[in-house]
Amino acid sequence: MAGSRAQASLGVGRVHRARLFWQSTVGKKIVMSVTGLIMVGFVLLHMIGNLQLFESAARLNAYSHFLHHTINELLWLVRIVLLVSVVLHIVAAAQLTRIDRAARPVGYRKQDRQAATVASRSMRWGGVAIALFVIFHLLHLTTGTIQPVPYAPGDVYANVVGGFRVWWVTLIYVLAMIALGLHIFHGAWSSIRTLGVSRPRPEPTRRPVATLLAVVLWAGFSIVPLAVFFGWVR
Amino acid sequence: MKFTLHVWRQAGPTAAGAFSTYEATDISGDMSFLEMMDAVNESLIERGEQPVAFDHDCREGICGMCGMMINGIAHGPMRATATCQLFMRHFTDGDAIYIEPWRARAFPVIKDLVVDRSAFDRVIAAGGYITAPTGGARDANTILVSKSDADDAMDAAACIGCGACVAACPNGSASLFAGAKIAHLGVLPQGQAERRQRVLRMIAQMDEEAFGGCTWHGECHEACPKAISLDVIARMNGDYLRALWTTHEEKQEQGAG
């Protein structure tokens, strides 16, 4: 009897605690950092996948076939995890933005930032830009709804090379990758800290790993549209 | 030296405020910022005007009472310096200086540059203490504390609760303050028993007071007169995550029955 009551109260405690977690600003930040790191892992794999373009058309298309047919169930699992991550990341970001704005109803006449970087200050609008880009990207290369050139289902190489010969498509991708690089430069570094992991150092905002990650992702993604546009890949 | 001051004047909590411009003349470079304000106030009193209200107490950089936004930087342009320890020689003769109160919903203006920081007191009251009586002074080293822990606790305990972190944070977050209070107890043996409840309750109170969240701009550390490290925020988050996995809080509140 006593045991079952203890178990019941433990159950209530868990629900209660999950609610407290989501209601607190720290809890929401932790949700943002975990979902953000999941997405960083995804974009890293995505980038490595893309680079097969430089080997051959057959290699890239075979990789696409592998993803869509050989491991189709796994692909859907990944898509679901990503969709949940994106939704949680955006909802938490929107709610935190509202809380943060409300925390300073009257602003300063003069404000001289001492430490904030372009990356840290552009997280919110940069995030919106990346979200809009992801929608465009899915409509362009996943569903083929936006067709700068006629869309060939299954022929990833043709779609990529055809699309990036169009200047405005390449421009959108290149700009979006700058936003992504900045977002990761700040996000990859800060998410680890939000999870409570930090090694005290004399320069607290130095971030060699996040910098490397941001540069590699920015360059690794941008090289594809640029290589096509400038005719290095035909 | 001579300065043109643009000072936020606000008669009371609900009054509308505005900037007033004053000329500070015959200022010595060896005057502190607050002494310069005193000189301006004396001339205001002589002219029969209301002096500018501002908080101050020890004027030696350790009490945390003073603090104002000086040209858009909390506590002014010198790093790790409270307003009272800022000297006019750090400015250029003829400078225009904007002086504003801390701006945060949790820190309502009382008058001019004075804000109500009792939100900080309530965050402390939520868990920034050790319940057990510490007893009489013990022999040295009966409780062993490593040098690095003692250093971390001391660095965090240097927080004077001035509110510059909140004022400088683009989000109006009190994370550096709460992190410092949580860290300075949490790294010592005496602070372990209540470590989990402390972090849960202080964070809940911090949110209750309508402070914003941390987005790691690092502005708080730059503004802090004690240069408290951002690491205290990471430590707070780590403690929070660990506290969530345990059932301590519920057991306490439901009692033994």
pLDDT tens for residues B66-75? Answer: 999 999 999 9
Q: In this prediction, does ipTM exceed 0.90?
A: yes
Does residue A136 fall inside a structural domain?
yes
* Residue A6: band (very low, low, confident or very high) from pLDDT cuts 50, 70, 90: very low
pLDDT at B143 (0 to 100): 87
The nearest alpha carbon in chain A to B210 belongs to A103
Total Cβ atoms within 10 A of residue A13: 16
- The one-letter amino acid code at A38 reads I
Q: Is the pLDDT of residue A10 over 70?
A: no
Domain with CATH 3.10.20.30 in chain B: 3-110
Q: Cα B110 from chain centroid?
A: 17
The pLDDT score that the predictor gives to residue B91 is 98
pTM comes to 0.93
Option in A100, A120, A204 nearest B230 (CB): A204
Answer whether B184's CB lies under 8 Å from B157's CB.
yes
Count of domains observed in chain A = 1
Which among A16, A17, A33, A104 is the top mutation candidate for probing chain B, defined by the most B β-carbons within 10 Å of its own β-carbon? A104
Evaluate whether residue A58 is within a structural domain.
yes
Pairwise CB contact (< 8 Å): A120 & B239: no
**For testing the chain A interface, which of B217, B221, B235 should be mutated: the one with the most A CBs within 10 Å?**
B217
Q: Look at residue B248 and tell me whether its pLDDT is greater than 60.
A: no
Taking residues B81-87, report their average pLDDT: 98
pLDDT in tens, A102-129: 999 999 999 999 999 999 999 999 999 9
**Is A190 touching B (CB cutoff 8 A)?**
yes
pLDDT above 90 (res B151): yes
CATH class, domain B117-254, is mainly alpha
Cβ of residue A202 closer than 8 Å to a chain B Cβ: no
Q: So what's the pLDDT on residue A11? A: 52
Residues 6+ apart with CB under 8 A from A152: A158, A159
Interchain contact A200–B (C-beta under 8 A): yes
Q: Do B219 and A113 touch (CB under 8 A)?
A: yes
Per-residue confidence band for B247, with pLDDT thresholds at 50, 70 and 90: low
> A–B: how many Cβ contacts below 8 A?
163
- In contact, B126 and B36? CB cutoff 8 Å: no
Q: What is the pLDDT of residue A234?
A: 82
Per-residue pLDDT at A1: 37
pLDDT tens digits for range B16-41: 999 999 999 999 999 999 999 999 99
CATH number of the B3-110 domain: 3.10.20.30
Give the residue-averaged pLDDT of B218-247.
93
- What part of B 54-113 touches A (C-beta under 8 Å)? 69, 71-73, 98, 100, 103-106
pLDDT tier for residue B133 given thresholds of 50, 70 and 90: confident
Candidates B8, B223, B234; nearest CB to A193: B234
Instruction: Tell me whether A147 touches chain B (CB under 8 Å).
Output: no
- Collect all residues of chain A within an 8 Å Cβ-Cβ radius of residue B218: 115-116, 120, 204-205
Q: What is the largest CA-CA distance in chain B?
A: 72
B101-129 pLDDT, tens digit per residue, is: 999 999 999 999 999 999 999 999 999 99
Determine the distance in angstroms separating the CA of B238 from the nearest CA of chain A, rounded to an integer: 4
Closest CA relative to residue B52, chosen from B91, B3, B6, B13 = B6
pLDDT tens-digit series, residues B152-204: 999 999 999 999 999 999 999 999 999 999 999 999 999 999 999 999 999 99
Residue B253 has a pLDDT of 52
Return the pLDDT at A3. Answer: 42
**Within a 13 Å sphere around the CA of A40, how many CA atoms are in the beta-carbon half?**
25
From the list B216, B145, B56, the residue with the least C-alpha distance to A100 is B216
Instruction: Give the model's pLDDT for residue B256.
Output: 46
Mutation target to probe the A interface, by most A beta carbons within 10 A, among B7, B68, B215, B222 is: B215
Residue A3 lies in a domain: no
pLDDT, tens only, A21-72: 999 999 999 999 999 999 999 999 999 999 999 999 999 999 999 999 999 9
Indicate if the alpha-carbon torsion angle B166, B172, B175, B176 is positive or negative.
negative
Give the domain range for residue A208: 26-106+115-229
Would residue A18 count as lying in a domain? no
Asked if residue A130 is part of any domain, the answer here is yes
Give the per-residue pLDDT at B136. 84
pLDDT tens, residue by residue, A166-219 = 999 999 999 999 999 999 999 999 999 999 988 777 777 789 999 999 999 999
SS3 of residue B145 by DSSP: coil
* A125 touches B at CB < 8 Å: no
Three-state SS at A39: helix
Please report which residue ranges of chain A form alpha helices under DSSP H: 2-23, 25-50, 57-65, 72-102, 118-121, 123-137, 156-163, 167-194, 208-229
